[in-house]
Structure 1
Amino acid sequence: MPKIKALVADDSMLMRDIIKESLLESFPEAEIYESGNGKDVQKILLKEVVDIVLCDWEMPEMSGLDVLKWVRSTPNLNTLPFIMITGTTDKEHVVECIKSGVTDYIVKPLTPDMLCNKISKALKIKA
C-alpha cells in the first residue's frame, strides 16, 4: 500500500487510537495527524497537507458536519477526501453529509477491513 497522510479527528482518544491502529494495519507507512475537536482540525488542515480526513460527527467546538462544510468551502481543500465516522444510523445524518459533499460515511463500530476499503475507494487505491 502507498504511504498516505491522514487526519483522524474524534473527541474520544480511545476511538482515535482504534482508528489509527486500523489505519496502520492496512497502511503501515501512514503519517497520521490527530485532533480531538473541530477547531484543531481547521488549524491542522491550514498548516499540513493531508490525503484524507477521517472525522467523527460529534465533536466539541465544531461538529464533523461543520468541519466538512468548512473543508468544502475552502480553496485548496474543497476536493480533499473526507470520510465521516459516526455512531448513529440516522438517515437524516447520512443525507445531510451527502448534501454537504462527504466522500464516504462509516457507522461505528468500524473494522480495519471496512476502514481500509473506504480509504482505498476514496483515494482510488486498489485494496
Structure 2
Amino acid sequence: MARHPLARLETVALVAIGGFAGANLRFLVAGFLPETVTVLVVNVVGSFLLGFLVYEARYTGIVDPTARVVFTTGVLSSLTTYSTFALQAALAARPLGVAAVVTGNYGLGFAGVLVGRTVAAAVRNRRARA
C-alpha cells in the first residue's frame, strides 16, 4: 500500500525538528566543555546511539521506523560533527595533537557503535527470554 504524500512531508518535518534538537544539544554541550572535548563527546555518544538504533532495527524492531529516521537522520546527524572534527585535526599544531583528535574520534566512535550493538543485542535477548 502506497503512503500518502503528506506522510512523507510529516517525516521531513519531524527530521527537521530532530535536526534542530540535535544541533541545540551540541550547542548546549559546548557551553560546558572545551571545543575539542565537546566534539569528541558528541561524536562518541552519537556513534553509540546510531549503533544502537541500527542494530536494534536488525535485532528487534521495537523502535518505529519513522522514529528511527527522525533520530538517525535528524537528531544524530546534527548532534555529531564530522566537519568540526576534520577541522580540529587539520588545525592541530603538533602531530601528536592530530593523532589524538583522529584516534579519539574514530577509535572511540567505533567503540561506541560496538557498545550500541551490544546493548541492542541485550535488548533482543531480554525480549526473547520474556
TM-score, structure 1 as length reference: 0.30
Structure with the greater relative contact order (CA < 8 A, sep ≥ 6): 1 or 2? 2
Larger Rg: 2
More strand by share: 1
More helix by share: 2
